[in-house]
Amino acid sequence: MNCNTTKTMTETAASRARVAVGPDVEIVGITPAWGVASAEGWYDSFISAAAVLQTLETLPTDIDGVVMAGFGEHGREGARELLSIPVVDITEAAAHLAMPLGRRYGVVTTVRRAVGQIEDSLTTAGLIDRCAAIEDTGLGVLELDKDAFATAEAFVAAGQRAIARGAEVICLGCAGMAGLEEHVRDRLPVPVIDGVAAAAALVETLIRQGLSTSKIDSFATPLAKLRSWSA
Amino acid sequence: MNCNTTKTMTETAASRARVAVGPDVEIVGITPAWGVASAEGWYDSFISAAAVLQTLETLPTDIDGVVMAGFGEHGREGARELLSIPVVDITEAAAHLAMPLGRRYGVVTTVRRAVGQIEDSLTTAGLIDRCAAIEDTGLGVLELDKDAFATAEAFVAAGQRAIARGAEVICLGCAGMAGLEEHVRDRLPVPVIDGVAAAAALVETLIRQGLSTSKIDSFATPLAKLRSWSA
Amino acid sequence: MNCNTTKTMTETAASRARVAVGPDVEIVGITPAWGVASAEGWYDSFISAAAVLQTLETLPTDIDGVVMAGFGEHGREGARELLSIPVVDITEAAAHLAMPLGRRYGVVTTVRRAVGQIEDSLTTAGLIDRCAAIEDTGLGVLELDKDAFATAEAFVAAGQRAIARGAEVICLGCAGMAGLEEHVRDRLPVPVIDGVAAAAALVETLIRQGLSTSKIDSFATPLAKLRSWSA
Amino acid sequence: MNCNTTKTMTETAASRARVAVGPDVEIVGITPAWGVASAEGWYDSFISAAAVLQTLETLPTDIDGVVMAGFGEHGREGARELLSIPVVDITEAAAHLAMPLGRRYGVVTTVRRAVGQIEDSLTTAGLIDRCAAIEDTGLGVLELDKDAFATAEAFVAAGQRAIARGAEVICLGCAGMAGLEEHVRDRLPVPVIDGVAAAAALVETLIRQGLSTSKIDSFATPLAKLRSWSA
Amino acid sequence: MNCNTTKTMTETAASRARVAVGPDVEIVGITPAWGVASAEGWYDSFISAAAVLQTLETLPTDIDGVVMAGFGEHGREGARELLSIPVVDITEAAAHLAMPLGRRYGVVTTVRRAVGQIEDSLTTAGLIDRCAAIEDTGLGVLELDKDAFATAEAFVAAGQRAIARGAEVICLGCAGMAGLEEHVRDRLPVPVIDGVAAAAALVETLIRQGLSTSKIDSFATPLAKLRSWSA
Amino acid sequence: MNCNTTKTMTETAASRARVAVGPDVEIVGITPAWGVASAEGWYDSFISAAAVLQTLETLPTDIDGVVMAGFGEHGREGARELLSIPVVDITEAAAHLAMPLGRRYGVVTTVRRAVGQIEDSLTTAGLIDRCAAIEDTGLGVLELDKDAFATAEAFVAAGQRAIARGAEVICLGCAGMAGLEEHVRDRLPVPVIDGVAAAAALVETLIRQGLSTSKIDSFATPLAKLRSWSA
């Protein structure tokens, strides 16, 4: 489930997810019909969250689990209330795979304004304790594809700053970076993790183990009430 | 700025805000044109946040500050990016007034599912350290008005549970409770705070002191990009 | 309530407080009859706390609330036990107004030894979580007035260090700095907050809302016993 | 890699791991040649850690990853230094799968003395923040198999205590409990997670994604020196 | 250094300290010439801190170290600034001896209002992490001696509450309780620590090892300035 | 109790311990019969812990207390379960003596890989809160004696880095550094603490006060079971 309306990013993320799961798993990329071309900051993120949740209301019934493919974006807990299938966010997934690999992990993201938002997302997921640094490249989400070389350069520089602050593993801090790990892994002395691949594998694992969202208390099914999606 | 579409709640909140500010201050109650009849849980909250932010995009230019009148609801940081005037959320405002009055404070809210959401909101605002307890009454937002006596009974019982857990001040945990403090203050041995009144007074104070949101880094004005609000 | 015996600082603080409150509010500056000419460090702070508390024992009965005008100084909780009217400390007040304006705030204070003391004061007030930095100017409390230009220079330099550490709002870290914000606001890219003005406004707000210190448990009225104030 | 010398527990754990991974994955159960019949407390755990690490020194070269199958037991970080393949501990793995399913998780373990040890293990793994409770059944590791009914009864009772303390997901707190989840899932209103299955799936995922332990700083290969394993 | 003006308490504390140190160590009990008959709460504590600090200004030059004998009372950091000899507070000392003996410790103190103050003292000393509970007996400082049996009963009951909350060691939470440990040790299943004895031994140890307060930054000698101790 | 098999280090540590205790105290240096020549990192530490615990199983009955002389090494809690006499680890002991001397302390250790391990040891001991920095000299344990001058140089440089990060007291971060404090104290502006001397004095104090490990819950005597120490 892409968090923005840019279909090429949906395709990129879906293709990375396909590599991460078993041959018997079908990945369907979904793009919200409205929202933001890219999510950069809380304002975009809250618009994105609503668009994503409305999209998930009509999720095909044969879907067994959902990857929320927005790094640091909102909506995660709402999707858990709405759905009875597993929901994994790429922000938390990257941390879940990073933590067994090194003492502390770092995140390299896009623009400065995303840093605090990612920090909030990791904090509310209970995963901030071992996050050594969240560094930005200064590149906007839609700039990442413009110049693959410059993007890799900026990523490596930010990754080195995170390592200097104690990171022993680096997470790609944007769904739009999926695939970039292949170009930077040989240039950084630590493992580099793609949250999209991580989340796809975690959803597959939860499904195989017959596990899904706890429906007591926090993520119980939403109460019936009047809701409207536009004026 | 009400977080839901129930106009009577907008009026209640606006009337409480009016009592809290100086005679020269005009309070305008605003209701989003779409969204949820009441916000209870993350799912509702994310819909609410988008509706509120779209509403704030066309805020009259003569407004000097905004009260976000949803207890524990999302959108706060997005409004700070979007606007150049002060934005205060009733969740944080209640805590800001509670903390100088007692060693720890408690929150009494509506339904169980709101508890974790309020905890997240206080955590990301940096105000959770002195929160002793968040207790629910079990009453939905729209049930609060149905039976004033039963609501007061349920509030007092939950307040006593919060006090037993260390709270020395109690915050009304829902904008729809505004005014209830007058009916429970004589039945609880601690101060009872209405976040709507608290936020209105804080916005007035910030305006009088010429203070507004910091626009470096986290809450800089949103980047120009393609955004749409419905399919 | 000034924390030291320097009457000119009482006047400065009182004049800043007057600007912060409504026209119907009267501000009375009070100077302790004994204690320290300036409070710099724990040793001074504890002398100051006792002198302030003795002064507050004979507070005129027509006073409706108290501003504790010592940044990081002790006494706050003792005044809450002693009095039945609202008591707000400028240290906490500055943080309460700073937090809604930016993701993290910083404090710029006088001498190095005050840093740990301010950190303790914000910690015991439950407000340290969003404090990014406490920086000192190296100027003693009584040096602040000597050379307005040099003081502003030192403040701006320390403020920039705090911003580099993540502060998005800066608090004046000494009552003696009240007024300085007007000279530095245009030289720092973030809001600058005066704790004296902040505390005066918060006390006014608490009074208007009929709120005062919780008298159960922590801040109950002191027990009757033999107390003496000098050998 | 079982943490104790009880071969039947190695078999149970291996069989659970097999269910959790793809058909192309071979699981080899390994039992240390010396150590403790069961690990219950720090004393046993440290003996176990050394025995496990000595065993791992001669790990067959065709092994691609290791599951450390002792809940709360030591050795995890040492194995990461020693080996260049992924190492996942069942304690952390259970938490990694639990956290996306509910707001907080709980652990139900064997004896009281294991509680603090599990708390330390989750703390040093950076995963304690969302742990609501660690409850013991009072049953020793080797008692778990004696009476399946009594074990399930004790587990359900302890699980309900954890839920009352805020857990929305429950983790089996002992490798010897593997399989028990099938008997208790219908008696507890929350997901129940087996750390052995969780760890096996995480190791498989890390291998598929070409990820392994970061070898800079903390988990660099041990330095060459004189080491002996017995008097 | 007693924190209050009750000479019998000075003698009790001094006698307990004598038991705790080597035969070559002389203990001199000092009582402030003014202040509070007993310190119970912040208000008393701040008066006490000033009286104690004034007394320490004229400390005989042949004193080699100071025990601050007020549990949870203020003044500790001020004494460290003022003096060049080691200063140990009984609050922290009790925790320093308790922590190597059990996973978590508890404190049993006098009145309810002292609980928060002790929590602050342990927090600013960096020792709160392993404090499981601070329980009060409801007995005032000067009531402790009235009925030895009733005091022991109340202490044991409060100690059992602390154990139920996770304490594996109990600290006497008042200097006036010194000696009580002998009457309750056989009635509680955990070690019971007297902070006075603990602090005396720690001061002796620091002196023997040639260690004293660090005089850089926080506890540098107070600046020269005008200070007065009474109107 | 040395953590490694290097007898000269046992002697050095024992000689430092002798200086720290009263004339009536006999110090017996014990070296494990197997294990690691030096403990550097978790892998070594876990081997060391088992060797130390096996050695402690046959501790002479006339020993009254144990110093665990490995800085940051494992085994501490296991020894507390096994023995009924006081057990103090030099890591925690150094912190216990450092904390009353300055606002924050730092540790200067040997190699980079020891840093995280020491951080874990201080964290699980509840003493990390006031640890400002753990810096490494880059010198291995067995290199410390090679060139006394170079070792002192490296220690002073690392100590200055710790001071720059806020340390007001420095702890020797390796038992093999015992004695080094005498060569560096005049070159660093802060107290320098030897954990071996600190732990010896703390054990002596606990014994004199009739205090020993709490045997309820966490550190109860190990359960009877089959344990073997080698294949």
Residues of chain A contacting B35 with CB distance shorter than 8 Å? 227-228
Helix (H, G, I), strand (E, B) or coil at A153: helix
Q: Residue A179 has what pLDDT?
A: 87
Instruction: Return left, alpha or beta for F72; rule: phi > 0 is left, psi -120 to 50 is alpha, else beta.
Output: left
Closest Cα in chain F to E125: F99
CB contact under 8 A, F230 and D227: no
DSSP per-residue codes, A96-109? HHHTTTSSSEEEEE
In 3D, which of D120, D118, D82, D123 has the Cα closest to residue D212?
D82
Minimal C-alpha gap between D133 and chain F (Å): 16
Lowest mean pLDDT among A132-136, D163-167, D182-186, F198-202: D182-186
Calpha distance F207→C60 (Å, rounded) = 57
Which are the contacts of C106, defined by CB distance < 8 A and separation ≥ 6?
C131, C132, C133, C134, C135, C159, C162, C163, C165, C166, C167, C169, C170, C171
Q: Where are the beta strands (DSSP E) in E74-212?
A: 87-89, 105-109, 131-136, 169-172, 192-193
* Other CB atoms within 10 A of residue E192 CB: 24
Reported as a single tens digit per residue, the pLDDT across C192-228 is: 999 999 999 999 999 999 999 999 999 999 999 999 9
Residue type for position D30: I
Percent of chain D's residues with pLDDT above 90: 96
Closest Cα in chain E to F97: E206
Q: Residue A231 has what pLDDT?
A: 75
Q: Residue E178 has what pLDDT?
A: 83
Mean pLDDT of chain B: 97
Q: Residue E22 has what pLDDT?
A: 94
Q: How far is CA A57 from the centre of its chain?
A: 20
Residues of chain D contacting A106 with CB distance shorter than 8 Å? none
Contact B222/A at CB under 8 A: yes
CB contact under 8 A, E47 and C227: yes
In 3D, which of B11, B48, B3, B55 has the Cα closest to residue B174?
B3
Reported as a single tens digit per residue, the pLDDT across F147-186 is: 989 999 999 999 999 999 999 999 999 999 988 988 999 9
Counted residue by residue, chain F has a size of 231
Contact D35/F at CB under 8 A: yes
End-to-end CA distance of chain D: 25
Task: Give me Rg for the CA atoms of chain D.
Answer: 17
In 3D, which of E197, B204, D134, A129 has the Cα closest to residue F218?
D134
Q: Which of 147-206 (B) contact A at CB < 8 A?
A: none
Q: Assess contact for B116 and A218: CB atoms under 8 A.
A: yes
Q: Residue F178 has what pLDDT?
A: 83
Q: Residue C218 has what pLDDT?
A: 98
Q: Residue B119 has what pLDDT?
A: 98
Q: Where are the beta strands (DSSP E) in chain F?
A: 35-36, 66-68, 87-89, 105-109, 131-136, 169-172, 192-193, 227-228
CB contact under 8 A, E213 and F130: no
Residues of chain E contacting F129 with CB distance shorter than 8 Å? 126-129
Calpha distance D141→D151 (Å, rounded) = 11
Kindly report the backbone phi and psi dihedral angles of residue C209, in degrees, each rounded to the nearest multiple of 5, phi listed first: -90, 10
Residues of chain E contacting F178 with CB distance shorter than 8 Å? none
Prediction pTM value: 0.98
Q: Residue A230 has what pLDDT?
A: 85
Closest Cα in chain C to B95: C96
Instruction: Return left, alpha or beta for F217; rule: phi > 0 is left, psi -120 to 50 is alpha, else beta.
Output: left
Which are the contacts of A146, defined by CB distance < 8 A and separation ≥ 6?
none
Q: How far is CA A188 from each of CA A156, A160, B210, C222, rounded to the nearest angstrom?
A: 7, 7, 47, 62
Place of tokens 């419905």: B230
Reported as a single tens digit per residue, the pLDDT across C98-108 is: 999 999 999 99
The pair of three-digit structure tokens given for residue B204, joined into one six-digit string? 């007035």
For residue C66, pLDDT over 90 is answered with yes
In 3D, which of A50, A55, A88 has the Cα closest to residue A198?
A88
CB contact under 8 A, B46 and A43: no
Q: How far is CA B216 from each of CA B221, C103, C229, D202, E173, rounded to the nearest angstrom?
A: 9, 10, 50, 40, 48
DSSP state of C136: E
Between D88, D126, D168, which is nearest A130 by CB?
D126
CB contact under 8 A, D209 and A20: yes
Minimal C-alpha gap between C179 and chain E (Å): 24
Minimal C-alpha gap between A127 and chain D (Å): 7
Closest Cα in chain F to D75: F46
Between D87, D129, D211, which is nearest A191 by CB?
D211
Mean pLDDT of chain E: 97
Reported as a single tens digit per residue, the pLDDT across B128-138 is: 999 999 999 99
For residue E231, pLDDT over 90 is answered with no
Contact A215/B at CB under 8 A: no
* Other CB atoms within 10 A of residue F99 CB: 23
Minimal C-alpha gap between C171 and chain E (Å): 21
Percent of chain B's residues with pLDDT above 70: 100
Residues B94, B98, B104, B110: is their CA dihedral positive or negative?
negative
DSSP per-residue codes, F10-56? HHHHHHHHHHHS-TT--------SSEESS--SHHHHHHHHHHHHHHH
Calpha distance F13→F30 (Å, rounded) = 10
Minimal C-alpha gap between A87 and chain B (Å): 14
Please report which confidence band the pLDDT of residue F72 belongs to, taking 50, 70 and 90 as the band edges: very high
Closest Cα in chain C to B66: C100
Counted residue by residue, chain C has a size of 231
Contact B47/A at CB under 8 A: yes
Chains in touch with B (≥3 Cβ pairs < 8 A) = A, C
Which are the contacts of F45, defined by CB distance < 8 A and separation ≥ 6?
D78, F3, F39, F70, F72, F73, F74, F117
Helix (H, G, I), strand (E, B) or coil at C132: strand
* Other CB atoms within 10 A of residue A186 CB: 8
Helix (H, G, I), strand (E, B) or coil at D105: strand
In 3D, which of A104, A126, A121, A146 has the Cα closest to residue A68?
A121
* Other CB atoms within 10 A of residue F20 CB: 23
Angle between helical axes of A42-57 and B42-57 (0-180°, round to 10)? 130
Chains in touch with F (≥3 Cβ pairs < 8 A) = D, E
Mean pLDDT of chain A: 97
Minimal C-alpha gap between F158 and chain D (Å): 17
Q: What is the mean pLDDT of residues B35-45?
A: 97
Reported as a single tens digit per residue, the pLDDT across E126-166 is: 999 999 999 999 999 999 989 989 999 999 999 999 999 99
Minimal C-alpha gap between C19 and chain E (Å): 31
Interface B-C: count of C-beta contacts within 8 A: 138
For residue E88, pLDDT over 80 is answered with yes
Give start and end residues of each alpha helix (H) in chain B: 7-20, 42-57, 76-82, 90-98, 113-124, 148-164, 181-184, 195-208
In 3D, which of A95, E171, E51, A163 has the Cα closest to residue D125?
A95
Residue type for position C227: R
Residues D130, A165, F177, E65: is their CA dihedral positive or negative?
negative
Calpha distance C71→A47 (Å, rounded) = 41
Residues of chain A contacting D198 with CB distance shorter than 8 Å? 205, 209
